[in-house]
Amino acid sequence: MDRIKLAVLISGRGSNLQSLIDACADKSFPARIAQVISNVPGVAGLARAEEAGIPVAVVDHKAFEDRQGFEAGLNEVLEKSGVDLICMAGFMRLLTDGFINPWRDRLINIHPSLLPAFKGVHVHEQVVESGVRFSGCTVHFVRPAMDDGPIIIQAVVPVRGNDDADALAARILAQEHRIYPRAVRLFAEKRLHIAGGRVLIEGAETPEDALVNPRADDGRNSLSDI
């Protein structure tokens, strides 16, 4: 089996990168990481990649006069490593149409909310403040508008009454680490078919149950019971 080649773009801690490194450590996983690129020097994610023996590059946005120059710098590394799919994982730079369009349908991102709700930054603060009962995370194809594009996979977590942003972030992060490798696997297995704004997934099973929060006190918590 040919494994597709991934590039992972990071700006920091790299725990999602680590979940992809761990998935790719299994030789039967249909992808491998060929390149990690950070726009910030010295971040923990770079050390994780080096530890795993993955080629790393720093393309520091501050070293370029404008976004176009920065994106040309990214493309130079990406083209040399001949990647099939770019995974943005905590990559904190906005990319322009000039970068995104040539990589259309080969560029994915993970965002820590149930898109299209709660785009942008300080997501968990916004969620806690809003009073919604559920949040989660989303892996999606990237389109030029921020945190926009066809959704591949989502995971849902409850928001608890005593949550602060950090507690919620930790609960969601654990789910991010589950869904990002799954999204990459589905892409590599060519099971994702983009139809307009939607992604149809070959052979996908949808859970039957819905969740209710707060939990129903009659023991019937899923909508299928009600």
Which residues touch 185 (CB under 8 Å, ≥6 apart)?
Answer: 23, 29, 30, 31
CA distance 92 to 10: 8
CA dist 107 and 192 (Å) reads 13
The verdict on 13 binding ligand GRF (CB under 6 A) reads yes
Q: Give whichever of 43 and 72 is closer to ligand GRF, judged by the CB atom.
A: 43
Per the annotation, the verdict on 124 as an active-site residue is: no
Contact 181, 155 (CB under 8 A): no
Catalytic pick among 61, 111, 177, 193: 111
Q: What is the footprint of ligand GRF within residues 120-139 (CB under 6 A)? A: none
Q: Which is nearer to ligand GRF, 8 or 186 (CB)?
A: 8
Going 214 to 215 to 217 to 220, the CA torsion angle's sign is positive
With CB under 6 A, what is the number of residues at the site for ligand GRF?
A: 13
Does 181 interact with ligand GRF (rule: CB under 6 A)?
A: no
Binding residue for ligand GRF, selected from 8, 143, 176, 181, defined by CB under 6 A: 176
Which residue's structure tokens are 């700006």?
Answer: 11
Residue 107 binds to ligand GRF (criterion: CB under 6 A): no
Chain residue at closest Cβ approach to ligand GRF: 90
Q: Which of 20, 110, 115, 155 binds ligand GRF (CB under 6 A)?
A: 110
Q: Give the residue among 199, 153, 160, 193 at the shortest CA–CA distance from 177.
A: 153
Rule CB under 6 A: say whether 147 interacts with ligand GRF. no
- Calculate ∠ Cα 37-87-14, nearest 5°: 60
Each residue 16-35 as x (binds ligand GRF by CB under 6 A) or -, in order, gives x-------------------
Contact 111, 137 (CB under 8 A): yes
Binding residues (CB under 6 A) for ligand GRF: these are 12-16, 45, 89-90, 110-112, 173, 176
- Name the residues annotated as catalytic: 111
